Amino acid sequence: DGDLKFSLESVKKLKELMDENRHINPRMVVSSYSPCDEKDLPEEFQSVCKREDASMIFERLSLAVQEGDLCEICANAACAGCV
């Protein structure tokens, strides 16, 4: 995301955490949720939590792994700039 780089596995874990939270109570406004509150948030995202634009970064990363096939292709060394 911009000049930030994260492992594919960590981004998948982030998406999993965000999706679980959305399914708990779909009637709640999701804007109050922050992955930073999750105890299982991968360590490499801790620096993102200190940023004002953290929610936007997390949302973009989650969207980046929506298309699984594309993301798996991007995990290859030939496509280093995807996530």
Q: Which residue type sits at 22? A: R
Distance CA 46, CA 58 (A): 12
Checking if the pLDDT of 21 tops 80, the result is no
pTM to 2 decimal places: 0.64
Q: Write out pLDDT tens, residues 47-71.
A: 999 999 998 998 888 887 776 555 5
pLDDT above 60: residue 78: no
- pLDDT for 52 equals 92
Average pLDDT over residues 35-48: 91
pLDDT value of residue 60: 86
User: What per-residue string of b and e applies to 58-76 under the rule 16 or more CB within 10 Å gives b?
Assistant: beebbebbeeeeebeebbe
